[in-house]
Structure 1
Amino acid sequence: MVTCKKYSDKEKLSWDNFVKNSKTPLFFFQRDFLEYHSHKFEDYSLMFFIEDELVGVLPATIHRQEEGVELRSHGGLTYGGLIFQPRVRGVKIRLVMESMKNHCLSHQINSLIYKAMPYIFHELSSQEDLYFILNENQASIAKRELSTVVYLNNKLKISKGRKALLSKARKNNLSIETDGDFSKFYSLLSNVLQKHGAYPVHSIEELSYLKINFPKNIILKSIEVDGEMIAASLLFVFNNVVHTQYLATNDNGKEIGALDYIIEESMSEYKNKGFEYFSFGISTEENGKVLNAGLLSQKESFGGRSIAIDTYQVRYND
């Protein structure tokens, strides 16, 4: 029998230890990351036990709407879904998902938004949940997005345009700094995004907090010329994947290929460290319905091709 329990602060150590030793040990499933934006989301994470043994967790938030109460995994994260210990087999995963459904029904939660974990983040096979949510929970695909990934051990050739910019960058003897000035980076990023009517998802205070708490997982790569930061990439480093959370460059940086140089050198560095994937993130808008073809082409020019990222919806009251 599976017991479902809502997470509480006293379970923090147990939760974090479980995540670190799970099939998908991503640092942003740890409580210090999940709770940095607690002022934006109401946490409703769940823990699942079999005979007092913790076998699964669900990072989640609760959302109250006119049409009812919705559980989302997790409102503040790009990826989510259930996280399992390596020994858990398919039949027990089915029981965990039944327990999740029963918990929602008994707490008047009538909808579930379930963000699938891309397979590149798996340390062990871990997609049983997608089978059960579709075939036994009658889920529908609420959103499908396209995310570009470079396979570092089977990297495609970069485009001629990228080669030319890299050549220009090397001729300028650019130097890449690791974990440089975050305030300069944030100013550069904000200026770039404002030109497109957008703003950073994180505040400078939030990024500083996350860097302090996850110093090995959040890495800033930047280039300065005469004291001015002209290009930068903020990387989220997972066990086998490096993800470009933010990329930014000004006109001077574009002219001499500074950001291209950062990206290419970062891919080379992490390949040499044994990483398999370099992720550029999504190139879709409006919940995946609109493809930003120009953005996709830019990412593909670095040798990337795309994977689908799905979000499912279950309506328990139907």
Structure 2
Amino acid sequence: MDYHKDRYEDCSLIVFENNLPIAAFPAHKIDENTIASHFGLSYGGIILRKTEVLHKTLQIVYKILFVLKSSKIEKIIYKSFHKFYNSIGSEEITYAKYLIKAKLTVRQFSSVINLNDKLEMNRTRLRLARRAMKMGVVIKEVDTFDDYWNNILMPNLNCKYSAKPAHTVEEITKLHNSFPKNIHQFNAYLNDTIVAGATLFETANVVRVQYNSANEEGRHSGASDLLYLELIERYFKHKNYFDFGTSFDDNGLNLGLLNWKESFGARAFSIDTFEIETKNYILLEKSINCDDRKLIQNHHHH
């Protein structure tokens, strides 16, 4: 989160037990009384250790709400973690949200391929990918971002949406240098000229498309289709999930973009935003017994 810390007023929390960090909640201020589970991240929420059981998770949520309430924070805008990013996929936090009466305010979804149980790709996709191969399109992983950013991504976003990518080329380069194993740039070339590309973020089980863009030639030649065919069937076939991201823009759902993702076999996995009132920590008291409560009240918060 470091590279964009000037854009957010941080309000992250770390929960300690016997001086060991056991949970983290990346967050930032919205206004005096409201914080948000971090908008600058692809996914957020409360981050727990794999070993955490339900009872302990409820204590952690209790503690976080209690500390925030004592610091005059009344409300949390909580963008929940997509379950498939969680390495064991458990949902203790989902149960905690129910107990504290978290209110669902926004539901979007990401288009995701479950790589362990893939659907057939649409024939058009395969036909276009074959066309690209015949034309001699080459797919390569590269370690610089300038070519893609300057020649494909920025012109495309500018012309279609008068928008800029969320990362500048300097920022994505800096991120890649810090996390070389997790950030990838794949480009498609026709006659040695870049025509399409994808910037991917890789986690333990998921590969996520952060930026996807092609020029007219990249679309028409099928280079873009070949690129994704290769990413799904070859480069990342060992992962559990291939996440194409959301298809929402300023006008709501972009059906053209969604159809394209679905034609590779992607389906909707929901991404939900909740509003949580910090005073509802009280609703967890029944679930965590009295001894815990004393222990929690006596904790210093860091």
Give me the TM-score of the superposition, normalised by structure 2: 0.87
Letter in 1 for 2:255: A
1:296 equivalent to 2:258? Answer yes
Deviations 1:31-60 (A, max 9, x none): xxx111001012221111223332211111
Letter in 1 for 2:155: N
**CA shift for structure 1 position 276:** 1.3
Letter in 2 for 1:69: N
Structure 2 residue aligned with 1:17: none
| Partners of 1:103 and 1:186 in 2: CA distance | 43
Structure 2 matches for 1:52-67, cutoff 5 A?
52-64=19-31
Structure 2 residue aligned with 1:165: 128
Structure 2 residue aligned with 1:178: 141
Tell which has more relative contact order, 1 or 2 (C-alpha 8 A, sep 6+).
2
Structure 2 residue aligned with 1:277, among 212, 216, 241? 241
Q: Secondary structure at the match of 2:177?
A: helix
| Partners of 1:82 and 1:306 in 2: CA distance | 23
Structure 2 residue aligned with 1:202: 167
Counterpart contact for 1:47–1:57, Cα < 8 Å: yes
Counterpart contact for 1:193–1:200, Cα < 8 Å: yes
Q: Secondary structure at the match of 1:260?
A: helix
Instruction: Point out where structure 1 has 5 or more consecutive residues left out of the alignment.
Output: 1-33
Structure 2 residue aligned with 1:98: 62
Give me the TM-score of the superposition, normalised by structure 1: 0.83
Instruction: Point out where structure 2 has 5 or more consecutive residues left out of the alignment.
Output: 281-302
Structure 2 matches for 1:62-81, cutoff 5 A?
62-64=29-31, 68-81=32-45
Structure 2 residue aligned with 1:240, among 193, 205, 208? 205
Counterpart contact for 1:62–1:72, Cα < 8 Å: yes
Deviations 1:112-149 (A, max 9, x none): 011211111121243211211222x2210121111111
1:152 equivalent to 2:115? Answer yes
| Partners of 2:118 and 2:190 in 1: CA distance | 30
| Partners of 1:107 and 1:42 in 2: CA distance | 15
| Partners of 1:46 and 1:199 in 2: CA distance | 31
Counterpart contact for 2:137–2:191, Cα < 8 Å: no
The structure with the larger Rg is 2
Q: Secondary structure at the match of 1:112?
A: strand
Structure 2 residue aligned with 1:213: 178
Structure 2 matches for 1:7-18, cutoff 5 A?
none
**CA shift for structure 1 position 264:** 0.6
Structure 2 residue aligned with 1:312, among 241, 249, 274? 274
Letter in 1 for 2:53: R
Deviations 1:213-259 (A, max 9, x none): 01111100002234421110111111111111111111111111111
Counterpart contact for 1:150–1:277, Cα < 8 Å: yes
Structure 1 residue aligned with 2:196: 231
Structure 1 residue aligned with 2:285: none
**CA shift for structure 1 position 317:** 6.1
**CA shift for structure 1 position 180:** 4.9
**CA shift for structure 1 position 69:** 2.3
| Partners of 1:244 and 1:83 in 2: CA distance | 22
Structure 2 residue aligned with 1:264: 229
Counterpart contact for 2:65–2:279, Cα < 8 Å: no
What CA RMSD, in Å, does the superposition of the two structures yield over aligned residues?
A: 1.7
Deviations 1:161-207 (A, max 9, x none): 21221110111122111125411100110111112222211111111
1:142 equivalent to 2:109? Answer no
Write out the 4+ residue segments of structure 1 that deviate beyond 6 Å after TM superposition.
none
Q: Secondary structure at the match of 1:308?
A: strand
| Partners of 1:168 and 1:180 in 2: CA distance | 27
- CA change 1:267–1:226 in 2 (3 A) is same
Structure 2 residue aligned with 1:46, among 7, 10, 13? 13
